[in-house]
């Protein structure tokens, strides 16, 4: 009886841990980023490079450099952007939410970091990605497959296209400033 309960607890714990941490392959990561339409395509290989260099594509990567300088998740977002235990920081999210498997909020926060500080926020992007050979994500099967499947109606498509173009331009401008 007692051991059955223990087994159940262990099972639940294992399941929880399994759900919390994930290490993507390059193409899985590309797929996730494409699926949620999280970044403009033009710069996706830069984001993939950044993630590979900063967190090894590990959604629960956590680095504590000091009490006030901690870095969370896939994008290794610093503690000034979030708050431990409750929503807060410059992204108005909990730091814990940057460590789970749901990468949508991570990406939204990373986009905000980018909008305010550019890729130069991530020193590893500057050293390992900027002007370097970027990951060849166009070889990933979803590069072609995802957009055609999620193809929106024509009017929405142009609207989204325009939004994406604006975003891409902003990206480009930031890139030139760096
Ligand atoms: C992912 O990061 C966490 C926290 O730093 C670490 O405990 C875990 O071992 C990493 N996973 C892999 C597969 O390296």
**Which range among 25-39, 44-58, 65-79, 144-158 shows the weakest confidence by mean pLDDT?**
144-158
N-to-C CA span, the chain: 64
8: Cβ contacts below 8 Å, ≥ 6 apart = none
User: Is residue 15's pLDDT more than 70?
Assistant: no
User: Going by CA atoms, what residue is nearest to atom 3 of ligand 1?
Assistant: 61
Q: How far apart, in whole angstroms, are the C-alpha atoms of residue 72 and residue 137?
A: 24
29 or 160, greater pLDDT: 29
User: Is residue 16's pLDDT more than 60?
Assistant: no
**Which range among 40-54, 62-76, 103-117, 144-158 shows the weakest confidence by mean pLDDT?**
144-158
User: Is residue 48's pLDDT more than 80?
Assistant: yes
Q: What are phi and psi of 70, to 5 degrees?
A: -120, 150
- The distance of Cα 137 from the centroid of its chain, to the nearest Å, equals 15
Is the shortest distance between the CB of 74 and ligand 1 below 6 Å?
no
pTM for the model stands at: 0.74
* Average pLDDT of the segment spanning 116-127: 97
User: Is residue 9's pLDDT more than 90?
Assistant: no
The confidence score (pLDDT) of residue 145 equals 73
Is the shortest distance between the CB of 23 and ligand 1 below 6 Å?
yes
The two tokens of residue 143 are 């590069």
Phi-psi region of 92 (alpha: psi -120 to 50; beta: other; left: phi over 0): left
CA 94 to centroid of ligand 1, rounded, Å: 20
CA 129 to centroid of ligand 1, rounded, Å: 22
Is the shortest distance between the CB of 60 and ligand 1 below 6 Å?
yes
Report the b/e string of 30-63 with b at 16+ CB within 10 A: bbbbbeeebbbeebbbbbbbbbbbbbebbbbbee
CA 56 to centroid of ligand 1, rounded, Å: 9
* Average pLDDT of the segment spanning 124-145: 94
pLDDT digits (tens, 9 = 90+) for 53-99: 999 999 999 999 999 999 999 999 999 999 999 999 999 999 999 99
The confidence score (pLDDT) of residue 10 equals 42
Is-contact 119 111, C-beta < 8 A? no
Average model confidence (pLDDT) across the chain? 84
């Amino acid at each position: 009886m007692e051991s059955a309960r223990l087994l159940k607890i262990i099972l639940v714990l294992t399941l929880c841990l399994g759900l919390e941490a994930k290490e993507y392959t390059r193409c899985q990561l590309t797929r996730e980023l494409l699926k949620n339409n999280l970044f403009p395509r033009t710069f996706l290989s830069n984001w993939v490079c950044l993630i590979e260099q900063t967190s090894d594509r590990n959604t629960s990567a956590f680095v504590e450099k000091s009490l006030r300088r901690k870095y969370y998740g896939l994008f290794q977002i610093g503690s000034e952007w979030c708050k431990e235990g409750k929503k807060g920081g410059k992204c108005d999210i909990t730091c814990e939410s940057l460590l789970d498997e749901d990468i949508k909020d991570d990406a939204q926060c990373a986009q905000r970091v980018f909008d305010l500080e550019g890729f130069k926020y991530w020193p590893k992007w500057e050293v390992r990605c900027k002007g370097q050979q970027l990951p060849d994500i166009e070889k990933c099967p979803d590069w072609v497959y995802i957009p055609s499947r999620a193809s929106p109606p024509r009017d929405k498509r142009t609207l989204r296209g325009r939004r994406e173009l604006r975003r891409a331009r902003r990206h480009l401008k930031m890139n030139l400033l760096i």
